[in-house]
Amino acid sequence: MAFEDFPLERTPQPRRPSPRSSPSRWVILGAGTIVALALLALWWMGRAQVPSVLLAPTSPTDGAAPLTRPNRQPLELPPLATSDSILREWFAALSRHPLLTRVLAQPGIVRAAVLAVVQIGDGKTPAVPLDAMRPNERLKLVGGGTSGKIDPASYVRWNGPARALLDINATDAAQVYVNVKPLFDEAYAELGYPGGNFDDAIVRAIQMLASTPEAPGDPVLLERSAYFEHDDATLRSLRPVQKQLLLTGPDHQRQIVAWLKRFAAALALKID
């Protein structure tokens, strides 16, 4: 399957010149989380301000390694439809990074986060909910040809997003998530999971990213008219979000996955 630099599943389109960005813009949030993913994923869940608390032990979910989960603190939550304003205040109190501001400027913060996590769990790149994290600089190949290894500078673009994730204390992020979880559950139900527990979506998303193999050596990419694809058939067969994670570089991949596992452990969620 062919893929673009970001997002991977977008139908190939003619390239548009990227706007110039000041060096300071990416001092902390370089080119886009998590997620790696995110993502890839999940850093925005840890952006609300809450007082320090002690974690209360809950029933173990793994006989070999008892886990703990924070108790929900007494907190009056606004309706989901009007939650953006208060969430922006909480998030801004914890971090005022410009990329976070861009992400939070979009309407429907919780719904966007839920959609992103669900899409990651399905193996898709959350292009729409995380569009604000799209890098300005495109992926480059060594030598500037139409095939070759990834230019190491392309990995540098992800230093900022990775750093933003790693600077968040996973235990604090877990407490914040538990506090606002009813909003996430409500948005999750709207996507077609009535009565569903958003914890399940988090587990699926983390498992998807954690199961991404590390690329053997420096992977060779083939540039097409408006996208790239892996020369290696095994890597080419990975899910889009997994291929996106590979593009962050091996160091970022390991760091992101390790953080996500710490986050899951803080929530007493078992990741296979």
pTM: 0.74
For residues 164-184, b (16+ Cβ closer than 10 Å) or e, as one string? bbbebebbbbbbbbbbbbebb
Sorted by sequence, the CB contacts under 8 Å of residue 52 that are 6+ apart come out as none
Sorted by sequence, the CB contacts under 8 Å of residue 38 that are 6+ apart come out as 120, 130, 161, 165, 209, 245, 256
What is the enclosing helix (H) or strand (E) of 149? strand 147-149
Dist CA 39 CA 33 (whole Å) = 4
Dist CA 204 CA 210 (whole Å) = 10
Sorted by sequence, the CB contacts under 8 Å of residue 84 that are 6+ apart come out as 104, 107, 108, 109
The most confident of the ranges 16-30, 66-80, 252-266 is 252-266
Question: Which residue, 155, 149, 123, is CA-closest to 231?
Answer: 149
Predicted local confidence at residue 252, as pLDDT: 92
Question: Which residue, 115, 95, 120, is CA-closest to 33?
Answer: 120
41-97 per-position pLDDT tens digit: 333 332 222 333 333 333 333 333 446 899 999 889 999 999 998 888 776 655 666
Residue with structure tokens 């420096």? Answer: 218
142-153 per-position pLDDT tens digit: 887 889 999 988
Sorted by sequence, the CB contacts under 8 Å of residue 185 that are 6+ apart come out as 196, 197, 198
Whole-number percent of the chain with pLDDT over 70:
68
Asked if the model's pLDDT at residue 205 lies above 70, the reply is: yes
